[in-house]
Amino acid sequence: MEKVTTVCPYCGAGCKMKLVVDNGRIIRAEAAEGATNQSELCLKGYYGWDFLNDTKLLTPRLREPMIRRHKGGPFETVSWHEAIKYVAKRLTEIKQQYGARAIMTTGSSRGTGNESNFVMQKFTRAVLGSNNVDCCARVCHGPSVAGLRETLGNGAMSVSIEDLEQAKCLLIFGYNSADSHPIVARRIVKAKQNGAKIIVCDPRRIEAARIADQHLQLNNGCNVTLVNAFIYTLLEENLYDKDYVAKYTEGFDSLWDVVKDYAPEKVEPITGVSAQEVRQAMRTYAASPASVICWGMGVTQFGQGTETVKSLSTLALLTGNLGRSGAGVAPVRGQNNVQGGCDMGVLPDLFPGYQKVTDAAIRAKFAKAWGIDPESMDKEVGVRITDVPHLALEGKVKAYYIMGEDPLQTEADLSLVRKGIDALDFLVVQDIFMTKTAEVADVILPATSWGEHGGVFTCADRGFQRFEKAIEPKYNVKRDWDIISLIATEMGYPMHYDTNQQIWDELRELCPLYYGVTYEKMGEFGHVQWPCPTLDHPGTPLLYTDNKFATPSGKGQLFATQWRKPAELTDEAFPLVLCTVREVGHYSCRSMTGNCAALKTLADEPGLVNINPADAQALGIKDQQLVWVASRRGKVISRASVSDRINRGAVYMTYQWWIGACNELTQDNLDPTSKTPETKYCAVNVSAI
């Protein structure tokens, strides 16, 4: 029996664990002493390894490369040699006929690791010749990256997950930690036990609301109004830190012009939160010696997601709540390596290490390292994932090479995504399971899974951690970066790596932010947080300790803006708001967790639609009854879960179910800066079957 140290592949908490291996099979998982989890795991950590033993509960593992030679025809199993040649030939033809920007690729925020993401963006930029690479951060925390880069300079948590326990006040905004990151939820409970005040802003009575000192149960879709009322209160009641604002921030003079119309008393009818609650929340937040604002997709998945992030960071800047233990901003990233996807530059505007693709000197540096002509590199920002359906329908994107993503399950407005994918000339899916997107691919490239390879993940607090291979792969599969390298070589750009570390060291040399993050430092329980610029640097648990921000002026940028209503409002035909949420037992498109026996028993299809008792009664719907949920874009079967934790006028669904796929209902109104869809708000009706 052997115990292999790895990192849980399911959420950005980045829990360290041991997989216990006996005769090539995983027999259990044990919690390990990681920096973020300290010997605790949630259910997914303890029971989410089952699919590695090929339990065949839900979907078959992809075992061989396959080609579908004609649209609608059958898949044909082929050799790796043939599959690689076929993909290289088709991508070359499409590039020659339509240009480099007609091809789109994705990185993956799931178990593949940072090395494969680095290689995918290198392939896209150096071989295909465009910046058309993106990852699922686009549909979740893209606004956190964009917003925080503008106001503070770094698009990530300023504190560590561990540090949340040191906060004396936690303002939890649109973030259901108990379902999204259970181990982070434990930290919140511990902070409460240490005496922290907990303020929850959420339309639902989520778990954190049960231990909160205040629960501001705002109406759906008015985040900016509530944050403006917070800023108004800080200014009007003189609760802000004048000295800090004067020394370390810019933009104060224009704040009042925006928020003057958002007196808590005046906006009560919009937010549904009493002025007294708003004012008390800000008095608590500002008076606390150290406050952290945590947020999740209840902030980001709106048309004003980036603006809300900028306004939330303004609360921290106004009160000097940055750069100290227990004080900061904490957008808690969802998937296990979604922070890593951004760190590795699987983004259309940034090289690895957050270096701009529009900067000629940066392009020249990468071109030199990769042995290509800098003039051959794309100088413009590339295409975003959420642009792809539209551009495919316009004939501008012709080929899509998807690594470890399932847009036909996880992206907003599936009928639009389906039409876009149908319009492509060529679709390659590289994955571990037959996902909804793989089912319609022209080529399937089967990859090794977490557990079958090692590498580096980045957890939500910027911490790089190594994970190790536990078992040999059973089928004719290859590592993601091996597959990409073979295609690159076949296309005339020789690319070869023997180890993850070779890739990692190439990355370090190109990224000053990560240069000091060596494989040795990350060994076993190493957790090295960027920036880590030199070999003797220990990493940076807390950003902005010197009150210098990574903005062009070095000052924090204060921001407020007018609230806009969500794009699609309720009416007589569609009287309820649909908000998509997380499910504690399942992960992303469910291909991994759905193949784990213990997790499958927690929840099964069809997915639930959570509804308030009064709304259910008015509609004649009983608990656990099958219902139709319909929007202007589609209609799905679901099962009603009647709960008084749900606010009136809204229903909540999770997105991983094939029966009851709520993305058939959602809409792709995009945040103009980050291009993140407004999956937290669309209009639906619910009717009994």
Question: Least separation, in Å, of the C-beta of 117 and ligand SF4?
Answer: 18
Q: Which residue matches tokens 């042995």?
A: 371
Task: Give the full edge-to-edge strand order of the sheet including 455-458.
Answer: 455-458, 463-467, 528-529
Using alpha carbons only, what angle is made at residue 173 by residues 171 and 177, rounded to the nearest 5 degrees? 95
Q: Which is nearer to ligand SF4, 44 or 478 (CB)?
A: 44
Applying CB under 6 A, among 5, 6, 15, 200 the residue interacting with ligand SF4 is: 15
Rule CB under 6 A: say whether 183 interacts with ligand SF4. yes
Of 44-83, which residues contact ligand SF4 (CB under 6 A)? 44-45
Of 418-447, which residues contact ligand SF4 (CB under 6 A)? none
d(CA 622, CA 613): 9
Question: Least separation, in Å, of the C-beta of 580 and ligand SF4?
Answer: 19
Question: Least separation, in Å, of the C-beta of 26 and ligand SF4?
Answer: 15
Q: Which residues contact 629 (CB under 8 A, 6 or more apart)?
A: 578, 609, 635, 636, 637, 638, 651, 653, 660, 662, 665, 684, 685, 686
Note the residue count of the chain.
Answer: 689
Closest CA to 139 of 431, 387, 385, 350: 385
Question: Least separation, in Å, of the C-beta of 526 and ligand SF4?
Answer: 17
| Cβ–Cβ under 8 Å, residues 36 and 162 | yes
Question: Least separation, in Å, of the C-beta of 389 and ligand SF4?
Answer: 30
Binding segment for ligand SF4 (CB under 6 A), chosen from 65-73, 179-187, 212-220, 233-241, is 179-187
d(CA 669, CA 681): 10
Rule CB under 6 A: say whether 8 interacts with ligand SF4. yes
Cα-based distances in Å from 460 to 339, 463, 603? 6, 7, 26
φ and ψ at residue 621, rounded to 5 degrees: -110, 135
CA atoms 544, 550, 556, 562: torsion sign: negative
Question: Least separation, in Å, of the C-beta of 465 and ligand SF4?
Answer: 11
Binding segment for ligand SF4 (CB under 6 A), chosen from 8-16, 55-63, 195-203, 323-331, is 8-16
Question: Least separation, in Å, of the C-beta of 186 and ligand SF4?
Answer: 8
Residue nearest to ligand SF4 (CB): 45
Site map (CB under 6 A) of ligand SF4, residues 337-376, x = contact: ----------------------------------------
Q: Which is nearer to ligand SF4, 37 or 674 (CB)?
A: 37
Question: Least separation, in Å, of the C-beta of 53 and ligand SF4?
Answer: 18
Binding segment for ligand SF4 (CB under 6 A), chosen from 150-158, 175-183, 429-437, 449-457, is 175-183
Question: Least separation, in Å, of the C-beta of 341 and ligand SF4?
Answer: 16
Of 579-598, which residues contact ligand SF4 (CB under 6 A)? none
How many other CB atoms are found less than 10 A from the CB of residue 356? 13
Rule CB under 6 A: say whether 175 interacts with ligand SF4. no
Rule CB under 6 A: say whether 332 interacts with ligand SF4. no
Rule CB under 6 A: say whether 182 interacts with ligand SF4. yes
Q: Which residue matches tokens 């409002």?
A: 569
Q: Which is nearer to ligand SF4, 178 or 543 (CB)?
A: 178
Applying CB under 6 A, among 5, 6, 10, 78 the residue interacting with ligand SF4 is: 10
Which tokens go with 109?
A: 């925020």
Question: Least separation, in Å, of the C-beta of 582 and ligand SF4?
Answer: 11
Q: Which is nearer to ligand SF4, 297 or 441 (CB)?
A: 297
Q: Which is nearer to ligand SF4, 31 or 128 (CB)?
A: 31
| Cβ–Cβ under 8 Å, residues 22 and 471 | no
Binding segment for ligand SF4 (CB under 6 A), chosen from 3-11, 460-468, 487-495, 526-534, is 3-11
The site for ligand SF4, by CB under 6 A, has a size of 14
Q: Which is nearer to ligand SF4, 112 or 233 (CB)?
A: 112
Of 282-321, which residues contact ligand SF4 (CB under 6 A)? none
Q: Which is nearer to ligand SF4, 398 or 586 (CB)?
A: 586
Closest CA to 334 of 513, 497, 525, 137: 137
Which tokens go with 329?
A: 């901003």
Q: Which is nearer to ligand SF4, 333 or 639 (CB)?
A: 333
Cα-based distances in Å from 175 to 13, 83, 222, 231? 14, 43, 15, 20
Q: Which is nearer to ligand SF4, 203 or 340 (CB)?
A: 340
Q: Which is nearer to ligand SF4, 10 or 354 (CB)?
A: 10
Q: Which residues contact 433 (CB under 8 A, 6 or more apart)?
A: 59, 60, 61, 62, 591, 592, 595
Applying CB under 6 A, among 5, 6, 13, 140 the residue interacting with ligand SF4 is: 13
Of 19-48, which residues contact ligand SF4 (CB under 6 A)? 37, 41-42, 44-45
Question: Least separation, in Å, of the C-beta of 168 and ligand SF4?
Answer: 24
Task: Give the full edge-to-edge strand order of the sheet including 197-201.
Answer: 214-216, 197-201, 169-173, 291-295, 328-331
d(CA 591, CA 344): 24
| Cβ–Cβ under 8 Å, residues 347 and 338 | no
| Four-point Cα dihedral 104, 110, 116, 122, nearest 10 | 30
φ and ψ at residue 147, rounded to 5 degrees: -70, -50
Question: Least separation, in Å, of the C-beta of 172 and ligand SF4?
Answer: 16
Rule CB under 6 A: say whether 181 interacts with ligand SF4. yes
Closest CA to 293 of 213, 198, 223: 198
Taking the mean position of all CA atoms in its chain, how far away is CA 615?
32
Q: What is the CA radius of gyration of the chain?
A: 24
DSSP secondary structure, 93-141, as one string: HHHHHH-GGGEEEE--SSTT-HHHHHHHHHIIIIII-S--EE-GGGGTT
Q: Which is nearer to ligand SF4, 13 or 510 (CB)?
A: 13
Rule CB under 6 A: say whether 473 interacts with ligand SF4. no
Question: Least separation, in Å, of the C-beta of 368 and ligand SF4?
Answer: 38
β-sheet bridge partners, residue 363: none
Q: How many helices (H) and strands (E) does the chain have?
A: 23, 28
Q: Which is nearer to ligand SF4, 256 or 525 (CB)?
A: 525
Q: Which is nearer to ligand SF4, 26 or 487 (CB)?
A: 26
Question: Least separation, in Å, of the C-beta of 181 and ligand SF4?
Answer: 5
Q: Which is nearer to ligand SF4, 11 or 94 (CB)?
A: 11
Q: Which is nearer to ligand SF4, 45 or 660 (CB)?
A: 45
Q: Which is nearer to ligand SF4, 349 or 468 (CB)?
A: 468
Question: Least separation, in Å, of the C-beta of 587 and ligand SF4?
Answer: 7
State the greatest distance between any 2 C-alpha atoms of the chain, in Å, as a whole number: 70
Which tokens go with 155?
A: 């698009």
Rule CB under 6 A: say whether 110 interacts with ligand SF4. no
Q: Which is nearer to ligand SF4, 264 or 296 (CB)?
A: 296
d(CA 366, CA 351): 9
d(CA 416, CA 383): 17
d(CA 458, CA 476): 28
Give burial (CB, 10 Å; 0-12/13-18/19+) of 296: buried
d(CA 223, CA 305): 9
Question: Least separation, in Å, of the C-beta of 176 and ligand SF4?
Answer: 13
How many other CB atoms are found less than 10 A from the CB of residue 396? 16
Question: Least separation, in Å, of the C-beta of 184 and ligand SF4?
Answer: 7
The residue ranges that bind ligand SF4 (CB under 6 A) are: 8, 10-11, 13-15, 37, 41-42, 44-45, 181-183
